[in-house]
Amino acid sequence: MRLTARSEYGLLALVEIASGEASPRSSRELSERWEIPAKFLEQLLAALKRAGIVRSVRGARGGYVLARPASQVSILAVVEALEGPIAASMCARESDACAQSAHCAAGAVWGRVSDAIRDVLSSATLEDLAVDQRLLDAVVPPTEGR
């Protein structure tokens, strides 16, 4: 399984929003800071809004803010909002996608791999990444268009 640019860019934008101390961040600002194509970022932010992870703020100083505290947003929630359910393989014992699943020993291994990925992603929050990002920014100040 490979996570796509949806997760990578979505996390970059969310870490930036979480690091912004509750002030709205515009999609333009996020796009420029992390060199994320603007239209693609808008799609990601729309998906994150539908998932209840961000909310938009209207007005001249508007943009996006987290819909709930960063400590309550797991990386798993973000990835699943952007990519869909996590699975290392279509193969799993409980899967209806494979006619052989009831007779296949490999399904248990793929299930454990999926569980391990989910455990790692659920153990980290946006707050964890925002703290790490602030530390990195203190050592190497951010520049426009990293």
- pLDDT tens, residue by residue, 8-32: 999 999 999 998 767 899 999 999 9
144 is a domain residue? no
Q: Give the per-residue pLDDT at 145.
A: 45
72 is a domain residue? yes
Q: What is the DSSP letter of 85?
A: S
Cα 24 to the center of its chain, rounded Å: 18
Contact 9, 41 (CB under 8 A): yes
Q: What is the CATH number of the domain that holds 99?
A: 1.10.10.10
Residue 81 reports pLDDT greater than 80: yes
Residue 47 reports pLDDT greater than 90: yes
Residue 93 reports pLDDT greater than 50: no
pTM: 0.84
Q: Give the per-residue pLDDT at 101.
A: 64
CA distance 37 to 72: 28
Cα 13 to the center of its chain, rounded Å: 9
Which domain, by its residues, includes 111?
A: 5-139
Number of compact structural domains in the chain: 1
Q: Percent of the chain at pLDDT above 90?
A: 58
Q: Is 94 exposed, middle or buried (0-12, 13-18, 19+ CB in 10 A)?
A: exposed
Residue 6: how many other CB atoms lie within 10 Å: 18
Q: Rounded mean pLDDT of the chain?
A: 86
Q: Report the first-to-last Cα separation within the chain, whole angstroms.
A: 27
